[in-house]
Structure 1
């Protein structure tokens, strides 16, 4: 009789042992245990959870399929075990922290304390040194600590010897802040987990032909980005939309608009962003035609060591690959500028199916300089690891590739005859074609915008891509937008960038001013921007490639010590003319349109305040009723049950005695409930009521449940919540408080959003929403957004 293997004799993680122990069948028990010990420890629990999910499915052959799946995975990972071990050995944080977003965020407080302790220790050890030297030593020590967990210290790219003391002070303030660390560690966690997904083969082109349905389908593999990254991205998007719907903006003039309407009217709206990009591309082409320039379309890819689906992959991340392309492009730009070669256009970054980025560039240049520019770009982009390019043509490889190209052409022609919109194959049998491919744009086949429109739409919102086939995956492009956006968000990669174009910030600021101006210097370019004429706007700026010598530039307002880190906060306020001596001289030498009058236009005269939707209406109602300020509750309350008090009353003095700030007292006067530490303050009939301990906790839960029930009712178009609304609200709040209790808290922590309303830090409330929506599975080990 077969005996179960002793798990303590195998190299297994504690979680993997716990999952294996749940299997009662001895053969399957031993198969899973021996299989998992061959993979790196941090991957064992991942594979074990996926195995047990398949193992417990209510199907006749579920156990057989689970064993086959594990065998295929281990076989696929075996050639890259060295890379996997290297990745897992270089984990920025312990796995029990990285596996939970909540624990990762909480670890930020630990890192902040360590940086503070470093500062105290160094100041004690080097008391006789000057302050500047102590600050430098502290910064270097904290920077090394940051590097050990995969975080780059502020200003670390600058030479420390030449770093101003003020910059060092700012950096130290950040590295002693738990919130700053939470943001940095969240990014580290997101990218490291995605790297593991790529390394374990969860990201890539993996299509299988199903004989029954006669269609291609995937077996758990996702192109561009993993399912985990897509889930987190979708959750952040949904949470951001909900936040926008809950908020409003009130101007200093008293105007009130919905925050989501404000966002839709700006560049955060994908439609507006796409329309502006296409406008700029189309009219950039018109400028090129007027200048007699020709258009070249480039496709640029990284060496094999950056591609996860290649045998030579060394564990590099998509971020590393993007850094490589940026570095080579910087060298190319320097070379072109030194040789006086002008060019302008646009760059689009998108991923291969395995997550490695590649570039599509549309550049316009003088016809007699195109060959020289192409040669320079080709030399830089293929100079690394040239041997892997030449190796493709040994032993008759070139003729074999040529036959493959002919076959691809035939398949492409057949697809076109069937009415499919398929990209023609490139001549990949050329020596340099895997890395660098260039095509001269033919106007008989379409405009420049038509060459790049698909890539822009694919990377934004998938507009009018139904029926188009993805060259990477062979699937319809209308289903591939979300993975691309999730990929760009995960790796913080800029998707679009114009080359040689005047400032689009000035263009957008000018479009904010709709009225005709008396200032003739600005009115001409304002009118061009108002018409949406990028062609005229560029000319009035001084033309393409004018750079920092353009006629107009943004007008900023600097606020010293404008944030918690004592940084100078710069906010845009409008535009101004650029009449410095150097700019005037350059424009004169180029013989372009030039402005000589110093003037400016302020486009942001109104200050806007973000607040909970309905606050302005309550404020107005309260003002009519004689209250001091508007009536507004906390975000988790649905109504106001408090009576405003008059200044000088007994409750007024009670509030001061309890140490509340003036703003908090003013909020209480308007009817708000104020939560401070573990107490809740509120005013009833002019008397101060204080709830603390369990009473305060019960009141928080009651108010939160009431608010959520009303929210569910409003979304369903009902005036009052029904039984189902109350049931869902109670379940949501109970789950949120349960999540908080697991973290050792008796209060809820709400997520943080950025300026666009996207979730940047998850809280208890957002976690509960994700669980109820089915985006996250709640398990006994789950205290945050766990890995799938």
Structure 2
């Protein structure tokens, strides 16, 4: 049977049921794809908004407070901190920079700076210091010129106050002693208000002769200049230590500024010594710099003398069968500004290196008294050297009887570890505080133990291959830093304990008359012979041995009072010779026969020889014209160049120019007669070269070569002594001002961009208050 569906087809069956979700369709365009519905914005509540604003205002207030704390610091601290903030802003953003200011500076650096500032600042204003309060608290930033101006003002104020006291004393008809006592009381109160201690002697009752020099010092501007300069230097260096600029990570032992100032001071001292001479009463002169280099002021001679003395002690030790010990004493951790890694020490209490030195001296005073009570004597040398943060510690090489070794070691250990004993929990901590090393002759001599420390603290001699344990740098390079540290804090680096005095030893070495020495006594002759031949052991034994008392010496220094008083009216007592104690001081041997005074060098001694190395002329121009010029070579006085043109009249100048031109004309004729032709460089015109030669002959008294003329025409500066000159294309020679030294450049920049003086600050404050008061008045209207 046929089925006719009339063109219709059966429908397609539905797809099978699927358990999984169909895949998302791929849209032709990204903008046509389905997106999630946009959620409405979350509106913060009032409490959340108030908390956020409170946090923002708190951060702003904290930042403002931090900047106020930063403004209280000296300018050199502010520059370092602001430089760090600027760097952090560029690299990590403002938030990170503000975090450094509010966290690192406020919580870590500012407390350390505050510990230092409160030791030097004038916290309270009184009637005696109100005029100097602001300027005195700016001492670390002041230049030398401003410090000297402040010293002048203080001295004038004290002089005015003393005049008032003197007037009142005259009205009351007081005696000289009571007048001096009233003046002394007044200057003492003023000095106390200015944070200065009086140079008092160890006396309970002062006489008129004791008070008068002190009063004279207090109204002397020079005395105040020295005190304030010293105060500014140690205050600045102490702040560098607190800030972390003195450590193994930055500059070990001393700040970079202190090292530069020490080197500059040494340079200036040597320049001064070179320009001065010693003159006796008969007019004989010797070079001051040569005398300086031949004395113990020379680091090399000083080192040799120290090594001679310690070697002599070792010879005495070997002869007597004594034992040697090497001790190291270190202060507790609260005296150290940074730890061994160069990071800030949170236990530091703000003590300066000089304060730590006083602590170590007090420790040694207790040790010495305890040994004296036990009737134990020792002798040797003590060396004070700095840690990397400037905190001093002691190395001691001591000799004693073998039976006293354990007792001495125990006494020193007890006093060295007495303070802050809670820190000494293990052997490592105890070794860091106090360490002892017996001298073993098999390992080396006693002198070898201490030689390294002596050389390191003087000039670094023979330490080229040695490395510093504190800074990790070569020891020879760190010798300058150690010397700068000792000079800045005035710490005595070397001190001998026991033995005979070295001043008598030096005076005996000046005595060349052995017959006179032998005519006094055997002891005197023995001491003189040993000192003359640098035998410290023999000299010490001749004086009475290593444990001799000062009142039992065989030879002593003889002092004589000078006829002239000091600048403050004090009697000047100087060493003039030595005497034998058995004979008495009435029969001294004079070792200083000639009285010398320091005078400037003569102009003839400072003349310049242009044929050799450059030298400094005495006058503003060069007085020399080279070798072979003078009457001995046929020239007359009229042929010699004039040294000072400023004193010449116009008529004399014209005569001088005419004479120079005639001489040059004669030279040209001589060259023509000999067939000599002057050669000129194609790039230099002959008339310009001749004009420049004439100008150099007249103004400088020298003869320029062709190469020198070419150098001058290219703009280069030539120097004759301290005079610089430059040529120009017109053939004239012009003086060039001397280039300022780096120190002068620094002072000029500091004066221009540094803190303003007190008058400018007061004027700015007055204008600010006047402006605010006018705006308030207008607002009130």
Q: TM-score range by the shorter chain?
A: 0.5 to 0.7
Conserved 8 A contact 2:417-2:434: yes
Question: Is 1:611 equivalent to 2:599 in the alignment?
Answer: yes
Which of 226, 235, 238 is equivalent to 1:195? Answer: 238
- Quote the Cα distance in structure 2 between the aligned partners of 1:466 and 1:192: 34
Flag the 1:52–1:41 CA change in 2: closer, same or farther, 3 A: closer
Question: Is 1:150 equivalent to 2:138 in the alignment?
Answer: no
Quote the residue 1:688 is aligned against. Answer: none
Question: Is 1:555 equivalent to 2:558 in the alignment?
Answer: yes
Q: Give matches, 1:304-323, under 5 Å.
A: 304-309=333-338, 310-323=345-358
* Partner secondary structure for residue 494 of structure 1: coil
Conserved 8 A contact 2:385-2:392: yes
- Quote the Cα distance in structure 1 between the aligned partners of 2:734 and 2:297: 35
Question: Is 1:182 equivalent to 2:225 in the alignment?
Answer: yes
Q: Give matches, 1:394-433, under 5 Å.
A: 398=426, 428-429=428-429, 432-433=430-431
Q: Deviations over 1:57-78 (max 9, x none)?
A: 9x99789899879939962672
- Quote the Cα distance in structure 2 between the aligned partners of 1:339 and 1:318: 32
The Cα of 1:565 is off from its aligned counterpart by: 0.7
Flag the 1:282–1:133 CA change in 2: closer, same or farther, 3 A: same
Could you tell me the TM-score, scaled by structure 1's length? 0.66
The Cα of 1:48 is off from its aligned counterpart by: 3.7
* Partner secondary structure for residue 737 of structure 2: helix
Quote the residue 1:769 is aligned against. Answer: 741
Q: Give matches, 1:304-343, under 5 Å.
A: 304-309=333-338, 310-343=345-378
The Cα of 1:44 is off from its aligned counterpart by: 6.0
Flag the 1:166–1:63 CA change in 2: closer, same or farther, 3 A: farther
Flag the 1:240–1:567 CA change in 2: closer, same or farther, 3 A: same
Flag the 1:288–1:355 CA change in 2: closer, same or farther, 3 A: same
- Quote the Cα distance in structure 2 between the aligned partners of 1:473 and 1:504: 34
Quote the residue 1:133 is aligned against. Answer: 178
Q: Give matches, 1:734-745, under 5 Å.
A: none
The Cα of 1:578 is off from its aligned counterpart by: 2.1
Q: Deviations over 1:110-135 (max 9, x none)?
A: 22223223323334456355432342
* Partner secondary structure for residue 325 of structure 1: helix
- Quote the Cα distance in structure 1 between the aligned partners of 2:581 and 2:736: 57
Conserved 8 A contact 1:42-1:95: no
Q: Give matches, 1:703-714, under 5 Å.
A: none
Which of 274, 285, 289 is equivalent to 1:260? Answer: 289
- Quote the Cα distance in structure 1 between the aligned partners of 2:66 and 2:492: 38
Unaligned runs of at least 5 residues, structure 1: 1-29, 207-220, 399-426, 580-594, 620-632, 642-671, 674-680, 685-705, 710-715, 733-767
Quote the residue 1:571 is aligned against. Answer: 574
- Quote the Cα distance in structure 1 between the aligned partners of 2:293 and 2:527: 25
* Partner secondary structure for residue 369 of structure 1: helix
* Partner secondary structure for residue 397 of structure 2: strand
The Cα of 1:462 is off from its aligned counterpart by: 0.7
- The structure that has the greater radius of gyration is 2
- Quote the Cα distance in structure 2 between the aligned partners of 1:282 and 1:314: 40
- Quote the Cα distance in structure 1 between the aligned partners of 2:400 and 2:212: 46
Q: Which has the higher contact order (CA 8 A, sep 6+)?
A: 1
The Cα of 1:547 is off from its aligned counterpart by: 2.9
- Quote the Cα distance in structure 2 between the aligned partners of 1:489 and 1:69: 39
Flag the 1:187–1:246 CA change in 2: closer, same or farther, 3 A: same
* Partner secondary structure for residue 433 of structure 1: helix
Flag the 1:34–1:446 CA change in 2: closer, same or farther, 3 A: farther
Which of 539, 542, 567 is equivalent to 2:541? Answer: 539
Quote the residue 1:226 is aligned against. Answer: 255
Quote the residue 1:287 is aligned against. Answer: 316
- Quote the Cα distance in structure 2 between the aligned partners of 1:483 and 1:297: 25
* Partner secondary structure for residue 350 of structure 1: strand
Question: Is 1:71 equivalent to 2:100 in the alignment?
Answer: yes
CA RMSD in angstroms comes to 4.1
* Partner secondary structure for residue 398 of structure 2: strand
The Cα of 1:557 is off from its aligned counterpart by: 1.6
Unaligned runs of at least 5 residues, structure 2: 1-59, 123-134, 339-344, 608-615, 625-642, 650-698, 703-717, 728-732, 757-781
Which of 586, 589, 596 is equivalent to 1:601? Answer: 589
Quote the residue 2:752 is aligned against. Answer: 780
- Quote the Cα distance in structure 1 between the aligned partners of 2:99 and 2:292: 46
- Quote the Cα distance in structure 1 between the aligned partners of 2:735 and 2:82: 30
Q: Give matches, 1:9-158, under 5 Å.
A: 34=64, 37=67, 39-43=69-73, 45-50=75-80, 71=100, 75=104, 78-79=107-108, 81-89=110-118, 90-91=120-121, 94-100=136-142, 101-125=144-168, 127=172, 129-155=174-200, 158=202
- Quote the Cα distance in structure 1 between the aligned partners of 2:384 and 2:178: 43
* Partner secondary structure for residue 577 of structure 2: strand
* Partner secondary structure for residue 37 of structure 1: helix
Quote the residue 1:251 is aligned against. Answer: 280
* Partner secondary structure for residue 73 of structure 2: helix
- Quote the Cα distance in structure 2 between the aligned partners of 1:65 and 1:504: 63
Quote the residue 2:737 is aligned against. Answer: 730
* Partner secondary structure for residue 492 of structure 2: coil
* Partner secondary structure for residue 428 of structure 2: coil
Quote the residue 2:16 is aligned against. Answer: none
Flag the 1:125–1:60 CA change in 2: closer, same or farther, 3 A: closer
- Quote the Cα distance in structure 2 between the aligned partners of 1:560 and 1:109: 30
- Quote the Cα distance in structure 2 between the aligned partners of 1:44 and 1:272: 41
Which of 447, 450, 458 is equivalent to 1:452? Answer: 450
Quote the residue 2:531 is aligned against. Answer: 529
- Quote the Cα distance in structure 2 between the aligned partners of 1:48 and 1:277: 44
Conserved 8 A contact 1:98-1:104: no
* Partner secondary structure for residue 565 of structure 2: coil
- Quote the Cα distance in structure 1 between the aligned partners of 2:93 and 2:461: 43
Q: Give matches, 1:668-707, under 5 Å.
A: none
